[in-house]
């Protein structure tokens, strides 16, 4: 069976790697409930990686408090994400996916008035991320 390079695992392989909730969010574009994610309020310094493939996605230097219920970042690592127009629900949004494994991460919003360098809010599901804390030097 020929697999799309962005989806380098079969659904069965993904299900074996991920919990049912992780699979729902990362592979079926689901969403975790607001204010329940592990990284929503964390202020730990470090790097955030994709739970699906381990690709570097965000750093804590770009995380900010938006009080929206999910971790918010103003900028991803260069070329780490890709964007898809999402017309689900009642509006058009921009979905954010891992550029390496095509896992759904969340959405990005612009023009909300946050005091960030990019005026963007990457609203990312905690369940899609793995935080590697900075080591003490």
Catalytic residue among 50, 98, 101, 123: 123
**Residues 126, 36: Cα–Cα separation, whole Å:** 9
Q: Is 123 labeled as catalytic in the residue annotation?
A: yes
Assign residue 18 a region (left: φ > 0; alpha: ψ between -120 and 50; beta: otherwise): beta
**Residues 10, 135: Cα–Cα separation, whole Å:** 35
Q: What is the 3-state secondary structure (H, E, C) of 64-96?
A: ECCCCCCCEECCCCCCCEEEEEECCCCCCEEEE
Kindly state the DSSP code that residue 57 receives in the 8-state scheme. Answer: E
Q: Which among 52, 136, 63, 54 is positioned nearest to 102, based on CA atoms?
A: 52
Active-site positions read 123
């Amino acid at each position: 069976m020929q697999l799309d390079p962005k989806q380098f695992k079969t659904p069965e392989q993904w299900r074996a790697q991920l919990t049912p909730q992780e699979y729902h969010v990362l592979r079926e574009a689901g969403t975790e409930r607001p204010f329940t994610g592990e990284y929503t309020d964390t202020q730990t310094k470090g790097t955030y990686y994709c739970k699906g493939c381990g690709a570097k996605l965000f750093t804590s230097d770009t995380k900010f408090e938006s009080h929206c219920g999910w971790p918010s970042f103003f900028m991803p690592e260069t070329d780490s994400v890709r964007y898809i127009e999402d017309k689900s629900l009642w509006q058009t949004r921009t979905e954010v996916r891992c550029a390496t494994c095509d896992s759904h991460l969340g959405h990005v919003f612009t023009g909300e008035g946050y005091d960030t360098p990019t005026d963007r809010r990457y609203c990312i599901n905690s369940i899609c991320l793995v935080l590697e804390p900075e080591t003490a030097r």
